[in-house]
Chain A
Amino acid sequence: MELLVASAIGVLTAGGIYLTLRLRTFPVILGISLLTYAVNVFLFTSGRLTIGAPPILQDGIDAYADPLPQALVLTAIVISFGMTAVVVMIGLGAFLGSDDDHVDDLPGERSQTDESASEGTS
Chain B
Amino acid sequence: MSLFFIVALPFFGALLPGLMNSAGRAATAGVTFTVTLAAFVGLLTNLPSVIAGEVVMARVDWMPLLGLNFTLMLDALGFFFALLILGIGLLIIAYARHYLSRDDNMGQFFTYLLLFQGAMVGIVLSDNILLLLVFWELTSLSSFLLIGYWKHLPEGRQGARMALTVTGMGGLAMIGGMLMLGQVAGSYDLSVILQNRDLIQADPLYVPVLILILFGCFTKSAQFPFHFWLPHAMAAPTPVSAYLHSATMVKAGIFLMARMWPALSGTPEWFMIVTTASLVTMVLGAVIALFKHDIKALLAFSTVSHLGLITMLLGTGTAFGVMAAMFHILNHATFKAALFMSAGIIDHEAHTRDIRLLGGLRKLMPLTFFIATLAALSMAGIPLLNGFLSKEMMLEEANHTVLFNMPWLVPVLATVGSLFSAAYCFRLIGHVFLGPVRDDYPAKPHDPNAGLWLPPAILVVLVVVIGTAPFLAEPFVKMVTASVLGDTASVPKAHFKIWHGLVPALFMSIAAVVGGLLMLSIFKPALRLWDATPRPEAKPIFEAIVESAVSLARAVILPLHNGAFSRYAAIGSITIVAAGYHAWSTGAISAPTYEMQPAGIVPFAGWLMLVAATFGMVMMHRNRLLSLILIGIVGLMVSLGFVYFSAPDLAMTQFTVEVVTIILLLLALNFLPNKTPIESSVLRRVRDTGVAIIGGIAAFGLSYHYMLRDAVSAPISEFHLANSYKGGGGTNVVNVILVDFRGFDTYGEIIVLSIAALLIFALTETLLGGPVRARLVNRKPDQLRAGNTHPMMMVVLTRGIMPVVLMVGFYIFLRGHNEPGGGFIAGLIVSIAVVMQYMASGFGWASARLRYPYHGVIGAGVLIAGLTGIGSWFVGKPFLTSDFTYVRIPPFEKFELATAALFDLGVFLAVVGAVMLSLESFSRIARQAGPDNSEHAMDIDPSRDDPARALDASAKEAV
Contacts and interface: CB of A to CB of B under 8 A. Distances in A.
A52 interface: yes
B653 to A, nearest CB: 5
Contacts of B711: 46
Given A30-B631, A33-B631, A75-B738, A104 B566 contact: yes
B692 A21 contact: yes
A2 B349 CA distance: 86
B760 A56 contact: no
Given A10-B699, A26-B624, A81-B660, A17 B646 contact: no
Most buried by A among B564, B733, B760: B733
B824 A3 contact: no
A104 B564 contact: yes
A31 B120 CA distance: 52
B664 A4 contact: no
Contacts of A48: 594, 707
Interface stretch (B25-33, B100-108, B613-621): B613-621
Nearest to A29: B665
Contacts of A57: 721, 724-725, 731-733
B570 A21 contact: yes
B165 interface: no
A38 B697 CA distance: 13
B598 interface: yes
Interface stretch (B742-750, B792-800, B804-812): B742-750
A91 B945 CA distance: 43
B642 A44 contact: yes
B764 A89 contact: yes
B302 to A, nearest CB: 51
A106 B562 contact: yes
Contacts of B738: 71, 74-75
Interface string A16-41: 11111111111111100110011011
A77 B715 contact: no
Contacts of B715: 47, 66, 68
Contact of A2 (B668, B704, B731): B704
A28 to B, nearest CB: 7
Contact of A68 (B610, B634, B720): B720
Most A Cβ at <10 Å: residue of B615, B628, B680, B696: B696
Contacts, number: 317
A44 B647 contact: yes
A40 to B, nearest CB: 8
Contacts of B770: 97
Nearest to A9: B703
A6 B654 CA distance: 19
Contacts of B649: 70, 74
Contacts of B668: 26, 88-89, 91-92
A22 B569 CA distance: 10
A30 B661 CA distance: 11
B720 to A, nearest CB: 6
B732 A78 contact: no
B716 interface: yes
B158 interface: no
Interface string B596-625: 111100011001001100110110010010
B770 to A, nearest CB: 8
Given A18-B688, A67-B720, A55 B733 contact: yes
Contacts of B610: 8, 11-12
B731 A58 contact: yes
Given A97-B767, A101-B672, A77 B654 contact: yes
B423 interface: no
B650 A82 contact: no
B393 to A, nearest CB: 64
A44 B676 CA distance: 33
B717 A34 contact: no
Given A22-B676, A104-B565, 13 more contacts: A4-B599, A8-B607, A8-B611, A18-B688, A26-B624, A26-B669, A54-B648, A57-B725, A77-B653, A82-B918, A89-B922, A91-B668, A93-B772
Interface of B: 562-567, 569-570, 573, 594, 596-599, 603-604, 607, 610-611, 614-615, 617-618, 621, 624, 627-628, 631, 634-635, 638, 641-642, 644-650, 653-654, 657, 660-661, 664-665, 668-669, 671-673, 676-677, 679-680, 688-689, 691-693, 695-704, 706-708, 711, 715-717, 720-721, 724-725, 731-734, 737-738, 742, 745-746, 749, 752-753, 756-757, 759-760, 763-764, 766-767, 770-772, 775-776, 818-820, 824, 828, 911, 914-915, 918, 921-922, 925
6 contacts: A7-B611, A25-B672, A37-B634, A55-B733, A96-B776, A106-B563
Interface of A: 1-30, 33-34, 37-38, 40-42, 44-58, 64-68, 70-71, 73-75, 77-86, 88-93, 95-97, 101, 103-106, 112-113, 116
- The 5 A-B pairs at the shortest CB distance, nearest first, are namely A14-B696, A10-B700, A82-B756, A6-B704, A18-B692
